Amino acid sequence: MGHGPSTTGGRVKTGLRAMLASRAELEASEERAHAELQGCSSVARLRSRTRSEVFGVLRSVTMRPRQRVPALEAELYDGTGSIQVVWLGQRRIAGVEPGRRVRLSGFVCQRDGRLTMYNPRYELAPRHEVHA
């Protein structure tokens, strides 16, 4: 009579997608605002072979061995895009953890088709600025 399970399920999925998209858009907008306040370049405008400064939230942090040398890898997201970050010779850096906001300064290059910074200078944002 009117609506079968597939129609209702379709509406629920559509509504859920809209809600998730809205949340993702809000989070991206918040990250862009934080980066703009810091006066940093947006990831979307970064170019390979340039020295840049970016500000954003670390989405992931992992330790990976690279040719017998440890490397701490992270992904920084600023609301416009993300950049891969690699600290060679490091297994761990105090305070560098998922969810933490940081300012990075370094040389941008391309690695496997992704923007990457190797061994950037970093400045941890105070924890009270972190919104989980």
Higher pLDDT, residue 127 or 56: 56
* C-alpha span between 4 and 25 (Å, rounded): 32
Q: Decide if pLDDT at 131 tops 70.
A: no
Confidence at residue 10, expressed as pLDDT on a 0 to 100 scale: 67
* Nearest by Cα to 19 from 27, 92, 48, 4: 27
The answer, yes or no, to whether residue 16 has pLDDT greater than 80, is: no
Name the average pLDDT for the chain: 85
Residue of 52 and 65 predicted with greater confidence: 52
Classify domain 36-129 at the CATH topology level.
Answer: OB fold (Dihydrolipoamide Acetyltransferase, E2P) (2.40.50)
- H helix and E strand count, the chain: 1, 6
Integer Cα distance of 132 and 129 in angstroms:
10
For β-strands 114-118 and 82-88, DSSP reports them as: parallel
What does the pLDDT read at residue 127?
81
pLDDT of 132 over the 50 cut: no
**Structural tokens at position 2:** 């009117």
> Would you say residue 67 has pLDDT above 80?
no
